Amino acid sequence: MKVLVLNGPNLGRLGSREPSVYGSTTYADLVAMCEAAGTDLGVEVEVRQTDHEGEMVGWLHEAADESWPVVLNAGAWTHYSVAVRDAAAQLRAELIELHISNVHKRESFRHTSCLSDISTAVICGLGVAGYPLAIRWVAENAGD
C-alpha cells in the first residue's frame, strides 16, 4: 500500500515558521518521521509539500486515479480552496485531514474547513505527532 502525505503552503518552513504555534520540528524531520512510520507499518509513504495550489490539485488527482489514501495538511487552503476540496472529493480511498495546531483555538477564519465533510477523519492540535498517528490509522484501516 502507498500512502501520500500532502502538505500545503508554508509547511516547508516548519521549524522556523511560528515555532510557538507549529513547534521546532523541521520539515526534513517531519518527512523522516512519516517515512519511518511507514517503514514500521510496512507501507510506502511518500511525503510532498507545495506552495502552489494547482500542484496540490494535480497530486490529489493522481491519488484519486491510483486509489491511494491521503493524509492532507492543506494549510490555509483548508479554509477557502474549493479547488482543493473538489480534487479531494474525487479520492477513492481514505482522506485524513490533518492540522498541526488546534485550529479551533485560533483565529475564527480557521474554524471552517472545506475538507472536513469529505474526510474520513480529522486530526488537529496534536502537533507533528498527528502524522504518524494518521499513517498508522490508514495502514490499519484502509479499505474497511
Give the residue numbers of the binding site for substrate.
73, 79, 86, 100-101, 110
Report the binding-site residues: 73, 79, 86, 100-101, 110
Considering the candidates 27, 52, 61, 99, report the single residue annotated as catalytic. Answer: 99
Considering the candidates 22, 61, 104, 111, report the single residue annotated as catalytic. Answer: 22
Let me know if 61 is a catalytic residue.
no
Determine the Cα–Cα distance for residues 85 and 74; give it in Å rounded to an integer.
Answer: 10
Let me know if 22 is a catalytic residue.
yes
User: What residues act catalytically?
Assistant: 22, 99
